[in-house]
Amino acid sequence: MTAVDYRGQTTLITGASAGLGAEFARQLAARDSDLVLVARRKERLEELAAELRAHHHIQVHVVEMDLATDNPGQALATRMDQLGLHVTSLINNAGFATFGPFHQADPERLRREVAVDVTAVADVSRAFIEQLRTEGRGVLVNVASMAAYQPNPRMALYGATKAFVLSLTEALWEESRGTGLRVLALSPGATRTEFFDVVGTTQAAGKSRLASPVDVVRTALTALDRRNPPPSVIAGRMNRVMAFLARRLATRRQVIRAIGRLTAEGA
């Protein structure tokens, strides 16, 4: 396999109004992919779409949608049919986290978190993966997290959702071998996006240095361009080292206690 050729492709990106979603849009537009940008904030999507059309002369469609609603995959597939679009690549980027003790969290917020971070990823992937496999020239990227690699006290649900995304995506990587579709789980660490504004605190990052969205997205696209793309990739050398150490050189108890200290009040 050679580097992905995005020319003539249509890539659907969820959570595209800011952060990694917007950066995926910019880097894929630079590679000449047409785009479908999906998020709740239509005004932000329209601004980004105008920028990309002007700079790259591609087609960009905007879809305002709350992925926490029922059957988001079918809703997006229906909308693509209405627009006469054939999606060849998919980036499931939408997601958010809740910080604090699980027993104190707002149950409705937790429900929405599962709906967006778990249900929508599975539902949207299922809605499009057959045509992605048939087309056989694009990518399916699901954004996981470093939080997927261990339990996360004070972000318990978020870590669990990202563990789901990592496991699902790596399984789809194996199922899709030989079809031409390249499947990848991207696991960023703390990144300079609106993530912590939504969470409500930077404590969720512990003492981590914030990565650049440009570098995180570049890591994913570079991995996909390999002759034999991996099922998953961790963005950032130090993050890769930490994940290795957590799995090989520490007990489960030690890892959980360490993450708990990093996210504790006053950390």
Task: Give pLDDT tens digits for 12-33.
Answer: 999 999 999 999 999 999 999 9
The residues, any chain, with a CB within 8 Å of residue 62's CB and separated by 6 or more, are 36, 37, 42, 45, 46, 49
Residues 41-45: what's their mean pLDDT?
Answer: 96
Average pLDDT of every residue of the chain:
91
Residue 266 pLDDT exceeds 50? no
Q: For the range 256-264, what are the long-range contacts, defined as Cβ-Cβ under 8 Å and sequence gap of 24 or more?
A: 256/150, 256/151, 256/153, 259/150, 259/151, 259/152, 259/153, 259/206, 260/153, 260/154, 262/206, 262/207, 263/99, 263/152, 263/153, 263/154, 263/155, 263/203, 263/204, 263/206, 264/154
What does the pLDDT read at residue 267? Answer: 41
What does the pLDDT read at residue 1? Answer: 66
- Asked if 43 contacts 50 with a C-beta cutoff of 8 angstroms, the reply is no
* β-strand partners of 187: 234
Residue 200 pLDDT exceeds 80? no
Range from 33-47, 209-223, 247-261 that averages highest in pLDDT = 33-47
The residues, any chain, with a CB within 8 Å of residue 69's CB and separated by 6 or more, are 75, 115
Amino acid at 169: T
Strands 60-64 and 10-14: unpaired
Task: Give pLDDT tens digits for 49-91.
Answer: 999 999 999 999 999 999 999 999 999 999 999 999 999 999 9
What does the pLDDT read at residue 198? Answer: 54
Full-model pTM: 0.90
Residue 255 pLDDT exceeds 80? no
